[in-house]
């Protein structure tokens, strides 16, 4: 669907110093997937995603949408192609002087759709994002989450095949973040829109992504399924992102690890206590990235398994009983970057 071939973007700063914001990135994003690009601030994620719709002209390399080379398209062709690529931003970027409905009809009007038709489509979209009652409101009158919903509706107006999300939830609180991510997931599933999510937060990747690329210093360090990256992070960057406050996964062999995913269970802590009591085995918590939203636990936890096979069986039985989703990680070596 989207293919980047050896894409580089170099910026020249004031002192004539050059920055390789994106350095020789090759990437393929498949139709229908939710693809995450994660990295710390300054990694080059925004620059990379802006190279996809050519808001940023790559200094080197090629960008393809389906089989069309965007980097070779004329200005006019590029404008046409951009209608197939929706984009949402951290700061929403709504037209402040236009109502919600006029924001949503905007991309349609500029592509030559009649006013009446555009209004109809906008109403459908407002329904999709659950904001039917805000059609006549101005952005200033909306909350952050509502603004992002309008922005999503606007981005979907031209029925794009791809939706690019640059830190779309980074300005939002945890509860609103959840609901926006759930909406993106719904759009992916129901409208079959391929979604590219840029974020510095693992919880975002974990909630909705199928695959993820880990980026640092303009380079893609690793690409894999979310499960793979969580259980066997190969790069230093990935490990730091997964377990932000500590870096405790020891190098070398170990008995194995389990990734527990909390998806709204009452709370993560009693579960670990109960697990220890029921299995009679000690588990070593390698790291946790859970958050409490309204008394419910969301997020993930990595625990190191005991060497005792019986204990492992008991642990798994307990998790199955409590319907806690888990994945088992291998004994793979953890390598440095």
Partner 1 sequence: MSLPIDTLVELLKGGLLESLYMTIVSTIIAYIIGIPLGIIVFVTDTGGILKNKPVNFIFGVIINMIRSIPFLILLVAMLPVTRAIVGTTIGSSATIVPLVAAAAPFVARMVESSLKEVSPGVIEAAKAMGASPIQIITRVLLPEAKPSLTVGFTIAISTILGYSAMAGFVGGGGLGAIAINYGYYRYKTDIMLITVALLIIIVQIFQTVGMFIANKIDKRTNN
Q: Which positions touch partner 1 (CB under 8 A)? A: 53, 55, 79-83, 85-87, 89, 91, 93-98, 106-107, 109-111, 138-141, 151, 154-155, 158, 164
233 phi/psi in degrees, rounded to 5: -65, 125
Choose among Mg ion, partner 1, ligand ADP, none what residue 286 binds, the Cβ cut-off being 5 to 8 Å by kind: none
Selected from 23, 27, 47, 197, the binder of ligand ADP by CB under 6 A is 47
In the sheet that holds 60-65, the strands lie side by side as 18-29, 2-12, 60-65, 68-69
Choose among ligand ADP, partner 1, Mg ion, none what residue 58 binds, the Cβ cut-off being 5 to 8 Å by kind: none
Please report, as residue ranges, which positions from 167 to 196 form the binding site for ligand ADP (by CB under 6 A). Answer: none
DSSP H or E segment with residue 320: helix 309-321
Q: Does 43 bind ligand ADP (CB under 6 A)?
A: yes
Selected from 6, 11, 255, 330, the binder of ligand ADP by CB under 6 A is 11
Q: Does 46 bind ligand ADP (CB under 6 A)?
A: yes
- Burial category of 34 from C-beta neighbours within 10 Å (exposed 0-12, middle 13-18, buried 19 and up): buried
* Integer Cα distance of 130 and 182 in angstroms: 12
Please report how the helices 144-156 and 115-128 are oriented relative to each other, as an axis angle in degrees rounded to 10.
130
In the sheet that holds 325-329, the strands lie side by side as 284-293, 296-304, 257-265, 325-329
Nearer to Mg ion, 9 or 234 (CB): 9
Q: Does 41 bind ligand ADP (CB under 6 A)?
A: yes
Q: Does 19 bind ligand ADP (CB under 6 A)?
A: yes
Count other Cβ atoms within 10 Å, centred on residue 74.
8
Q: Does 53 bind Mg ion (CB under 5 A)?
A: no
Selected from 46, 146, 235, 268, the binder of Mg ion by CB under 5 A is 46
> DSSP per residue over 76-137, as a string?
HHHHHHHTTEEEEETT----TTS-HHHHHHHHHHHTT--HHHHHHHHHHHHHHTT-GGGTT-
Count other Cβ atoms within 10 Å, centred on residue 330.
11
Q: Does 216 bind Mg ion (CB under 5 A)?
A: no
Selected from 39, 107, 233, 287, the binder of ligand ADP by CB under 6 A is 39
Nearer to partner 1, 66 or 141 (CB): 141
Cβ at position 83, least distance to partner 1 in Å: 5
Q: Which of 117, 182, 195 is nearest to 156 (CA)?
A: 195
Selected from 13, 74, 273, 323, the binder of ligand ADP by CB under 6 A is 13
Q: Applying CB under 5 A, which residues contact Mg ion?
A: 46
């Amino acid at each position: 669907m989207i293919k980047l071939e050896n894409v580089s973007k170099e910026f020249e700063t004031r002192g004539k110093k050059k920055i390789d914001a994106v350095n020789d990135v090759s990437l393929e994003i498949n139709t229908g997937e939710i693809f995450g690009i994660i990295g710390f601030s300054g990694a080059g994620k925004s620059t990379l995603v802006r190279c996809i719709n050519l808001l940023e002209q790559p200094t080197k390399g090629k960008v393809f949408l389906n089989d069309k080379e965007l980097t070779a398209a004329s200005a006019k062709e590029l404008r046409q192609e951009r209608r197939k690529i929706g984009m949402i931003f951290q700061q929403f970027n709504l037209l402040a002087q236009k109502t919600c409905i006029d924001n949503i009809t905007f991309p349609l009007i500029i592509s030559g759709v009649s006013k009446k038709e555009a209004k109809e489509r906008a109403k459908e979209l407002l329904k999709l994002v659950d904001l039917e009652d805000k059609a006549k409101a101005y952005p200033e009158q909306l909350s952050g989450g509502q603004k992002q919903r309008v922005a999503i509706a606007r981005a979907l107006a031209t029925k794009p095949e791809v939706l690019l999300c640059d830190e779309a939830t980074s300005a939002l609180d945890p509860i609103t973040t959840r609901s926006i991510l759930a909406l993106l997931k719904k759009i992916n599933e129901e409208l079959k829109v391929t979604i590219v999510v840029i974020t510095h937060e693992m919880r975002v990747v974990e909630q909705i992504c199928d695959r993820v690329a880990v980026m640092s210093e303009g380079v893609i360090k690793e690409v894999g399924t979310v499960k793979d990256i969580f259980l066997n992070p190969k790069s230093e960057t990935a490990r730091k992102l997964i377990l932000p406050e500590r870096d405790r996964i020891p190098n070398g062999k170990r008995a194995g690890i389990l990734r527990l995913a909390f998806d709204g269970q009452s709370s993560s802590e009693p579960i670990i206590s109960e697990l220890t009591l029921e299995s009679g085995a000690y588990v070593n918590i390698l790291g946790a990235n859970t958050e409490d939203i309204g008394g419910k636990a969301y997020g993930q936890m990595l625990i190191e398994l005991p060497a005792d096979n019986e204990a492992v069986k008991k642990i798994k039985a307990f998790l199955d009983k409590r319907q806690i989703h888990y994945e088992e990680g291998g004994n793979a070596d953890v390598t440095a970057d």
